[in-house]
Structure 1
Amino acid sequence: MKRIDATVAGVVLIFALAYLDAVWEDTVIAATVVIGPFLTAIFASTRQTAAVGAFAVVSAILSGGYNDNYGTDDYFVRLAVTIAGALFAVYAARAMRRLAADQVRFGLLKGAAEIADTASSIPEVVDRVGALLVPAFADICVIDVVRGDHVERIGVRSAGTDARRVEERLRARGPATLEHTGVIEPVLREHVDEAFLRANATSEDDYAFLRSLAERSHINVPLRSRGRNVGTLALLAVTRAYGPVDLELATLIAGRIGLALDNAGLFAELEAVQLRLTTALDTLAEAVTIQDAQGHLVYANQAAGAMFGFASGAELIKQEPQNIVDAYESSIHEGRPLRLEDLPGRQALRGESPEPLLIHAINRSSGDERWRIIKATLVEGETRLAVNVIEDVTEVKRAEMGQRFLAEASMVLASGLDYEQTLAKIAELAVPALADWCSVQMPAGDWLRTVAIAHVDPAKREFARDYQKRYPNPTDAPIGAAQVLRDGSSQLIGPIDDALIRAAVPDPEQSEALIGVGMRWVMLVPMVAGPRIIGVISFVSAESSRRFVEADLELAEELGRRAGTAVENARLYQERSHIAATLQRGLLPDELPEIPGARLDSLYRPAGEENLVGGDFYDAFPTPHGWMLLVGDVTGRGAEAAALTGQARHTLRTAGMLLGDPLAAFEQLNQALANRAELTPCTVALIQVAPDARSATVVCAGHPQPLLIRAGEPRPVGRFGPMLGAWTDATWSPERIDLEPGDVLVAFSDGVTDTVGMDGRFGEQRLLEALRGVFDAAAAVAAVDAALNAFQRGDQADDTAVLAMDLPAA
């Protein structure tokens, strides 16, 4: 209720009560007029209350006339009550006005304190100060601040109907001088006169404007903060007059406003610094996050948001740390699952000095596989913070792992000659390094045969084998491995869902079996051997939810090329080895024949791991005049010597069986070798045993003499002659020896005596010592073999052949 309305209401109430007092003849209510001043005191000023109280007293005095009781005790009592009530109402009005003023002052101080305690920008502070002071404490409020060496007017607020024009004019007028706005002491001008306006006007127009404000008084107080002046607050009163109490209040309010403006300036500078810092961090390629002591993110740059699949760093901050970790299948240190306490930031907040941590993470929803290195540093201050720098090293790690994988695969491919076993090892190497499943298929007629299959779970390997038996894959299938085998184009398929499998595999039972595997991604790559495609390698991602990318496909294709080359080389090697072995077995003599009255045994050790036949040879066969036993040695060793061995052995065998004469057989071989384009000499020791095995003829053509062991004592027999193939007119001299029961004849090649050991050559003397005390052919062969094995050091240097015959004792 307005004050004027309260005054009128009080007067009207007094009239009404006086009227009722006059109308009611038997009732006197003249004293009730005191209610009027009480009503006015609640809403009106002290003066207005005093006026209404005086009116009530006059009414009480006049009431003695219409109540006809002047001079009575009742009259004086009513008059006294009315006077006392009026005085009390005036006192109450005064107290209430003071209380209202105190409430206004308290509200102003509280409002100023709230402005100072709230982080706001300078424009926000100016707006809030104007709203607080106008019109509650001033009709016009002006704020000037000091910026360096000049003063700037930053705020004007005015009340009244012409407020906008006044604000624009005062804002344009600006501060007069630095001295004017930089006052040190508060200034109160209780009365503004013409002289003051003239002194402050800059022109006649300005003077007219100042007069139009109708200013009654004003207050000018400094805005101070942290011991320095930051500006001036000017308060102009039009509808009121300021006094010392108002000056004191304005000074208190100015202190709060100065602090608020200073804080706003610092806040703005901090915002600018934060903006520059944020801008700098957002330009970094590495992800940067900051977490508080509780582990919650308080900052994340743009790269961090993008790294974890969010539109911005702000979106990442909203997430709970555990939810971020749970979104990935993460592991550290040889596959150990990642825990929140393992993160370097958490370690730093615990006061530890964390080492950089490499994390392998697979996004559970997308299957995207990443490798990240996290580094953390602790920032000490009022709040403990951990700064994390996260670097994505996926490409580097993939390249490193790919090269390591290919190196291991190459070693496996080079280590075996059985290509099926090698491919099985390759499939096992790919699981789980590259995929959850790996299989290799090669064509076999009209079907694709599974050569190898790998999974970490043996039960699932059995499932896969059973599946392929139930649903064999024809080579003319329109899709899948058969298609890759035909056109040689790799396939990267995914993500795979149940609908895709059902569409690709019409058979419901087969499609449900495939769905049970849980396939997410599939890679099919050809095994290439030159221009041919010899098979297909399949890689499947299932349990790990890993997503295959182009880099994985390139790695798989390189493995396919290397595997194809290795398989083809192994197949060629096996074919050539089979051919070579077949040919070499054809060069070896048949099993030793049974000679009546005698026993035979032999030892053959070709030099070289891959050779079955070398330059040394032996044979035993019947002739028209008994049995021929021979041991020979052609020039060289290996495949070339083996070819000459076959010619020499078969020539001697044929001539001996036809002619039955050792010398005639030698002549035949000598002519055959001499007629060759290149010199290919050959040495042979030949023993012709009589049909009754009682005698033998020994002929040596450049070969070590055979040994006769009688009564356990070995000695050489036979005469030396020229090598075969060296001279066309060569002749040989045979030696006839008588044989006794228990005798042992041993013919050997120079590979025996030329065997190299720690002490040089094995030699003839060691051979004699090895055969001393021997009484049968088998024992002689075993003794030579044991002695050579014990003596030899390193690889065998020359082919070795031994042929022994004994005449059992009666």
Structure 2
Amino acid sequence: MAVLFTDLQGRLVACNRHAEELFGWSQEELIGRQTEALAAEPVDEATRARWAAHIAAGEPWEDDIAVRRKDGSTMVVHAVDSPFVDDDGTVTGVVSVSFDVTDRRRAEDVQRFLADTTTLLMTSLDFVESLRQLAAAAVPFLGDVCLVDVADGPQVFRMAAAHADPSKQALVDVLGERYPPDPFGDHPAVRVMTTGVPEASPEMTDEFLRSTCRDEEHFDLVRRLGFSSYISVPLIARGRSLGTLTLVSCSPSRRFGPEDLAIAQEVAWRAALAADNARLFSERAYVARTLQASLLPHTLPEIPGVELAARYLAAGEGNEVGGDFFDAFDAGYGTWAVVIGDVCGKGADAAAIAGLARHTVRAAALKERRPSRMLSILNDAIFGDADVGDARFCTVCAALVRPNRSGARMTLALGGHPLPWIVRADGRVVQAGITGLIVGVFPETDARDDVIDLAVGDAVVLYTDGVVEERDDEGRTFGQDSLRQVLQQAAGLSAAEIVERIVGAVTAFSGREPRDDVAVVAVRVVAAA
């Protein structure tokens, strides 16, 4: 434990031999020096004032301070400064007791860094963004430069690069763009990626650097960056190699050692797991979007004198197949079918039922002229199919639209689905349809047909319960009354505008992504046949 005696001006007047060992200076060299000269960074006025106030009040002062040893190395000491008083009680100097806490502080800093980095990585479910956040977080704590390389088949791509000095960021960007690691060359990142074994060196000689460079311009670039020491560790998650994390020191005074390698491996493990989670999420979201798209029509049919518009919003992150679906198609004999439904649940089971429902209704429409019969056929298909999962039911609204000289006639039937709204050209808004049993729950359905005559300018809006059951932050539901008010203000608008008004009102009400899937279809007569 180092003991130093200073006068009130901060000059050293005496010290023990432990002070020599701690700071690297001899007693002769220390005595007469200002203690602030030992600090690695200048002491700010606020800290100096707090120290002086404690000493003047006869109170001890303590803090962790970064100091620079005689050999230029830095360390952290915990210093306790106590006032030295004479027999009259007058403060005449300061007794300072210091001991090395570098290892403790480093351990605390490492744990804090690991916790902060893990939190940061978990905030993004985008694979590339996770790697970029990793690189940005790694400097300057782990190194001056952080490079993240990922293999994709026979190629290696630099996914992220960060420099602790913003003025040199452009150089590491150029390094990645022009000279990504050669997958067939002798590059440490490629070797580590292939073998899964970390590599590190406290010194990067010119000979070593040339062995990793493709040409003189490449070599000149890394020399300009000042590469002097490196660590390269694999990014491995669930037994799968994702790439490598490479840390580079650009200062001769900072040489990587075993402790740095251990920290880098811990960071790489956490980063690889987060990045792989992001990758899996991206893949799952892609599969969900692809499967969801297969449950919706690619285009809506053109109906003489009738506008069609539809919109679908997936709940939450959109990484799981929803249960809502809609369809519109030519049913033959001068009629067009419009169908909307909501399957219980999400995921594969919901997708199976939605797919079954969509294709069954299409097949039924080829021979049935009544929507109620179409729902009956669908009910038989779902109720009798044991492969569609436990939650094998859905709500459906099926409609047939036939343009005529007055506008159009719509015949619709409901299987447990919310009642559609009719928006008349004169601004009246009324519900239509006859409530029926949920499809797939009972051996038989009780769906009944309702016939609606539509004049030019009239519109019918079909929707799933995600519209009216959406909640705001206070738990209030959007509800049928709000939907009716939106539709009253939408009278006279096009089918597309009506749909957008509804979707906009629902999202504005909740202030976030919908909790449940939302599907809306608008059918509007624009001309008589």
Measured against the shorter chain, the TM-score band is: 0.7 to 0.9
Aligned equivalent of 1:775: 492
Output the CA distance in 1 between the equivalents of 2:102 and 2:5. 23
Output the CA distance in 1 between the equivalents of 2:502 and 2:179. 60
How do 1:447-526 residues align onto structure 2 when only pairs under 5 Å count? 448-468=156-176, 471-478=179-186, 480-494=188-202, 496=203, 500-502=205-207, 505=210, 509=216, 513-526=221-234
Return 5+ residue gaps in structure 1 as ranges. 1-285
Structure 1 residues 707 and 317: CA distance shift in structure 2, 3 A:
same
Aligned equivalent of 1:706: 420
Structure 1 residues 665 and 542: CA distance shift in structure 2, 3 A:
same
Greater shift after overlay, 684-693 or 615-624? 684-693
Aligned equivalent of 2:143: 435
Structure 1 residues 657 and 390: CA distance shift in structure 2, 3 A:
same
Alignment equivalent of 1:803, drawn from 521, 526, 529:
521
Alignment equivalent of 2:132, drawn from 416, 424, 448:
424
Q: CA deviation at 1:394?
A: 0.6
Alignment equivalent of 2:353, drawn from 633, 639, 644:
644
Output the CA distance in 1 between the equivalents of 2:518 and 2:172. 52
Note if contact 1:347-1:354 (Cα within 8 Å) is conserved in structure 2: no
Structure 1 residues 739 and 294: CA distance shift in structure 2, 3 A:
closer
Matched to 1:559, the amino acid is: V
Output the CA distance in 1 between the equivalents of 2:127 and 2:302. 43
Q: CA deviation at 1:636?
A: 3.6
Q: CA deviation at 1:414?
A: 0.4
Return 5+ residue gaps in structure 2 as ranges. none
- Residue 346 of structure 2 corresponds to residue 630 of structure 1: no
Matched to 1:453, the amino acid is: A
- Residue 385 of structure 2 corresponds to residue 669 of structure 1: no
Q: Secondary structure, in 3 states, of the residue corresponding to 1:405? A: helix
Q: Secondary structure, in 3 states, of the residue corresponding to 1:524? A: strand
Aligned equivalent of 2:398: 686
- Residue 460 of structure 2 corresponds to residue 745 of structure 1: yes
TM-score with structure 2 setting the length: 0.81
**Per residue, is there more strand in 1 or in 2?**
2
Alignment equivalent of 1:302, drawn from 17, 31, 37:
17
Note if contact 1:360-1:371 (Cα within 8 Å) is conserved in structure 2: yes
For residues 644-676 of structure 1, give each alpha carbon's deviation from its aligned partner in whole angstroms, at most 9, with x where no partner exists. 122112210222145555344333212211202
Q: CA deviation at 1:558?
A: 1.0
Structure 1 residues 617 and 576: CA distance shift in structure 2, 3 A:
closer
Output the CA distance in 1 between the equivalents of 2:252 and 2:100. 20
Q: CA deviation at 1:729?
A: 4.5
Output the CA distance in 2 between the equivalents of 1:501 and 1:347. 54
Output the CA distance in 2 between the equivalents of 1:404 and 1:452. 23
Output the CA distance in 1 between the equivalents of 2:77 and 2:411. 87
Output the CA distance in 1 between the equivalents of 2:141 and 2:468. 55
Matched to 1:686, the amino acid is: A
Q: Secondary structure, in 3 states, of the residue corresponding to 2:328? A: strand
Q: Secondary structure, in 3 states, of the residue corresponding to 2:283? A: helix
For residues 531-567 of structure 1, give each alpha carbon's deviation from its aligned partner in whole angstroms, at most 9, with x where no partner exists. 3443222223334833444333322221111111112
Structure 1 residues 660 and 288: CA distance shift in structure 2, 3 A:
same
Matched to 2:41, the amino acid is: S
Output the CA distance in 2 between the equivalents of 1:695 and 1:329. 88
- Residue 80 of structure 2 corresponds to residue 375 of structure 1: yes
For residues 177-234 of structure 1, give each alpha carbon's deviation from its aligned partner in whole angstroms, at most 9, with x where no partner exists. xxxxxxxxxxxxxxxxxxxxxxxxxxxxxxxxxxxxxxxxxxxxxxxxxxxxxxxxxx
How do 1:756-771 residues align onto structure 2 when only pairs under 5 Å count? 756=471, 763-771=479-487
Output the CA distance in 2 between the equivalents of 1:763 and 1:440. 50
Q: CA deviation at 1:403?
A: 0.9
Output the CA distance in 2 between the equivalents of 1:552 and 1:441. 20
Structure 1 residues 308 and 659: CA distance shift in structure 2, 3 A:
same
Count of residue correspondences: 512
Alignment equivalent of 1:696, drawn from 392, 399, 410:
410
Aligned equivalent of 2:364: 655
Q: CA deviation at 1:395?
A: 1.1
How do 1:139-218 residues align onto structure 2 when only pairs under 5 Å count? none
Output the CA distance in 1 between the equivalents of 2:46 and 2:423. 80
Output the CA distance in 2 between the equivalents of 1:683 and 1:535. 47
Alignment equivalent of 2:3, drawn from 264, 284, 288:
288
Note if contact 1:621-1:629 (Cα within 8 Å) is conserved in structure 2: yes
Alignment equivalent of 2:263, drawn from 555, 558, 574:
555
Matched to 2:398, the amino acid is: L
Structure 1 residues 533 and 287: CA distance shift in structure 2, 3 A:
farther
Q: Secondary structure, in 3 states, of the residue corresponding to 1:474? A: coil
Note if contact 1:505-1:511 (Cα within 8 Å) is conserved in structure 2: yes
Structure 1 residues 545 and 350: CA distance shift in structure 2, 3 A:
farther
Aligned Cα root-mean-square deviation (Å): 4.0
Matched to 1:745, the amino acid is: V
For residues 341-396 of structure 1, give each alpha carbon's deviation from its aligned partner in whole angstroms, at most 9, with x where no partner exists. 8997x999999967324322455856x44111223334355995543211111111
Output the CA distance in 2 between the equivalents of 1:363 and 1:504. 32
Q: CA deviation at 1:733?
A: 3.8
Q: Percent identity?
A: 33
Output the CA distance in 2 between the equivalents of 1:733 and 1:704. 14
How do 1:259-278 residues align onto structure 2 when only pairs under 5 Å count? none
For residues 724-771 of structure 1, give each alpha carbon's deviation from its aligned partner in whole angstroms, at most 9, with x where no partner exists. 334444464434443332322233334444445679655555544443
TM-score with structure 1 setting the length: 0.55
Note if contact 2:132-2:159 (Cα within 8 Å) is conserved in structure 1: yes
- Residue 41 of structure 2 corresponds to residue 331 of structure 1: yes
Note if contact 1:523-1:538 (Cα within 8 Å) is conserved in structure 2: yes
Q: CA deviation at 1:795?
A: 7.5
For residues 60-107 of structure 1, give each alpha carbon's deviation from its aligned partner in whole angstroms, at most 9, with x where no partner exists. xxxxxxxxxxxxxxxxxxxxxxxxxxxxxxxxxxxxxxxxxxxxxxxx
For residues 299-319 of structure 1, give each alpha carbon's deviation from its aligned partner in whole angstroms, at most 9, with x where no partner exists. 433322221236xxxx33345
Matched to 2:337, the amino acid is: M
Aligned equivalent of 2:113: 405
Structure 1 residues 559 and 705: CA distance shift in structure 2, 3 A:
closer
Aligned equivalent of 1:390: 98
Aligned equivalent of 2:296: 588
Matched to 2:23, the amino acid is: F
Structure 1 residues 436 and 598: CA distance shift in structure 2, 3 A:
same
Q: CA deviation at 1:320?
A: 6.2
Q: Secondary structure, in 3 states, of the residue corresponding to 1:331? A: coil
- Residue 359 of structure 2 corresponds to residue 359 of structure 1: no
Aligned equivalent of 1:610: 318
Matched to 1:700, the amino acid is: L
Matched to 2:61, the amino acid is: E
Output the CA distance in 2 between the equivalents of 1:751 and 1:420. 32
Q: Secondary structure, in 3 states, of the residue corresponding to 2:41? A: strand
Larger RCO, structures 1/2 (Cα 8 Å, 6+ apart): 2
Q: CA deviation at 1:598?
A: 1.1
Q: Secondary structure, in 3 states, of the residue corresponding to 2:248? A: strand
Greater shift after overlay, 463-472 or 552-561? 463-472
**Per residue, is there more helix in 1 or in 2?**
1
